[in-house]
Amino acid sequence: MINDFITNTFGGAADWVKYVITFVVSMLPIVELRGAIPVGTAFQIPWYWCYILSVIGNLLPVPFILLFIEKLIGWFKKTKRLRKFGLWLESKAAKNTPKVQRFETFGLMIFVSVPLPMTGAWTGALVAALTGMKFKNAMISIICGVLIAGAIVTLIVQGALGFLSFLI
């Protein structure tokens, strides 16, 4: 169904547009590469390009989140309209903090590598920043986690499609 929608909507688009869409989808919070790899696959982009574009796109916002999220949340909390959102971000990080702090750098990598919604690079960077993890350690953990998550999602998508094509 989603595959048909993507194919029908963007099927006639130039190849470079499909690559750009895959890249941009991987930068979106919540969706991240977990959504970008299936989108790229629906565009019939080779699996290795889906993986590369999705990993790079997913990692692009991470340094900015690590460096600026605390100041941004502080500003949100001072603003009447964004106060609830700032508090929600803090509570999201607090909820996931024990999972990460228990094993620190390794815990953050595992947390980011689990290919489920709300466990990716964005949330991992948020948790790392709000727990005071060193930038270098956080980046290494998140990069490793994103590489693992990308491999898992790629294997699942390629395996599922291969299995389905075998049945049909």
Report the domain count for the chain: 2
With bands split at pLDDT 50, 70 and 90, how would you rate the model's confidence at 13? low
Q: How confident is the model at residue 1 (pLDDT cuts 50, 70, 90)?
A: low
Considering the domain architecture, whether residues 111 and 137 belong to the same structural domain is answered as yes
Q: What is the pLDDT of residues 60-79, one digit of tens each?
A: 999 999 999 889 888 988 98
Does pLDDT of 6 surpass 60?
no
User: Are 92 and 20 in a shared domain?
Assistant: no
Tell me, yes or no, whether 110 and 124 share the same domain.
yes
Q: What is the pLDDT of residue 39?
A: 94
| Domain-embedded: residue 47 | yes
* Whether residues 77 and 135 fall in one domain: yes
At 17-42, the pLDDT tens digits run 999 999 999 999 889 999 999 999 99
Could you tell me if residue 15 is inside a domain?
Answer: yes
Region 39-64: mean pLDDT is: 95
Q: Is the pLDDT of residue 12 over 70?
A: no
* DSSP secondary structure, 11-79, as one string: TTS-HHHHHHHHHHHHHSTTTHHHHHHHHHHHTT--HHHHHHHHHHHHHTTHHHHHHHHHHHHHHHHHS
Q: Please indicate, yes or no, whether residues 86 and 132 belong to a single structural domain of this protein.
A: yes
Based on the fold, state whether residues 67 and 140 are members of the same structural domain.
yes
Higher pLDDT: 82 or 13? It is 82
pLDDT at 19: 95
139 inside domain: yes
How many Cβ atoms from other residues are within 10 Å of residue 74's Cβ?
A: 12
**pLDDT tens digits for range 102-154:** 778 898 999 999 988 788 999 899 889 888 899 999 999 999 999 999 999 99
Is residue 158 domain-resident?
Answer: no
Q: Which two tokens stand for residue 121?
A: 């690079």
User: Domain containing 111: what range?
Assistant: 62-148
Regarding whether 69 and 142 lie in a shared domain, the answer is yes
Residues 157 and 33: beta-carbon distance below 8 Å: no
Residue after which a domain boundary falls, among 19, 36, 58: 58
